[in-house]
């Protein structure tokens, strides 16, 4: 698998340090898959878009498609959430029924529950939006080996972030990760091969 799926919302030159860190994280996730997904995933505490507290236990027993991003993202997140949604619609309904699509905010300071609820409506009908406190989000990012960093300290900051869609098994371990901007039909095919 090629590991070229990094989200760049601005120039590589300006953020070469961040990109270097990102490369290290990409290597980690490749290793995780080979070793059975043990390095990606685990316990978390967050708030869903209905303003209810949730943990990883609420998602066990179903496959999960997870994407980490933020609602103010100009292009990368909407693209990948659209791909995730389209892929789920292409999957055999009997399989799709067993998959929970999840969008986790990496920008909890701006992504309120109300904003998440509004945002996810643009994508799949089953999509669940998760946000939380800064500490809760930091914890799940660490568990999923997600890297993100604010571009600056202005009110309209962008967030540079890894852009993987994770397919998690029913026991909460990683089955596969999909790169940014993978065509939805390819994602659907791989989901159907793995999520059964």
Q: Minimum CB separation from Ni ion for residue 46, in Å?
A: 18
Residue nearest to Ni ion (CB): 73
- 82, with CB counted inside 10 A (0-12, 13-18, 19+), is middle
Q: Which residues bind Ni ion (CB under 5 A)?
A: 69, 73, 76-77
Residues 6+ apart with CB under 8 A from 103: 66, 67, 68, 69, 81, 116, 119, 120, 123, 127, 128, 129, 130
Kindly state the smallest distance separating residue 34's Cβ from Ni ion, in Å: 27
| Residue 91 to residue 80: CA distance in whole angstroms | 16
Taking the least distance from each CB to Ni ion, the nearer of 69 and 184 is 69
Nearer to Ni ion, 59 or 119 (CB): 119
Of the two residues 91 and 159, which places its CB atom closer to Ni ion in the complex?
Answer: 159
What is d(CA 177, CA 169) in angstroms, rounded to the nearest whole number? Answer: 11
Instruction: Give helix 184-194 / helix 76-90 axis angle, nearest 10°.
Output: 50
User: CB 128 → Ni ion: shortest distance, Å?
Assistant: 18
Q: Return the number of the residue (9 or 62) whose C-beta is nearest Ni ion.
A: 9
Shortest Å, Cβ 66 to Ni ion: 14
> Taking the complex as a whole, how short is the minimal distance between the CB of residue 70 and Ni ion, in angstroms?
6
Q: Which is nearer to Ni ion, 65 or 73 (CB)?
A: 73
Q: Are 74 and 158 in contact (CB under 8 A)?
A: yes
């Amino acid at each position: 698998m090629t590991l070229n799926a990094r989200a760049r919302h601005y120039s590589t030159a300006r953020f070469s340090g961040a990109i270097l860190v990102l490369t290290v994280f990409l290597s980690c996730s490749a290793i995780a898959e080979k070793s059975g997904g043990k390095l990606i995933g685990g316990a978390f505490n967050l708030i869903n878009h209905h303003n209810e507290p949730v943990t990883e236990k609420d998602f066990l027993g179903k496959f999960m498609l997870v994407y980490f991003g933020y609602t103010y993202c100009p292009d990368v997140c909407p693209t990948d959430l659209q791909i995730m949604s389209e892929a789920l619609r292409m999957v055999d309904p009997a399989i799709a029924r067993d998959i929970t699509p999840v969008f986790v905010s990496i920008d909890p300071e701006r992504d309120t529950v109300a904003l998440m609820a509004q945002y996810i409506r643009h994508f799949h009908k089953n999509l669940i939006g998760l946000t939380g406190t800064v500490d809760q989000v930091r914890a799940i990012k660490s568990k999923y080996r997600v890297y993100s960093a604010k571009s600056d300290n202005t009110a309209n900051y962008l967030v540079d972030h890894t852009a993987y869609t994770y397919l998690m098994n029913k026991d909460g371990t990683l089955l596969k990760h999909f790169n940014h901007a993978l065509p939805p039909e390819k994602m659907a095919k791989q989901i159907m091969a793995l999520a059964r």
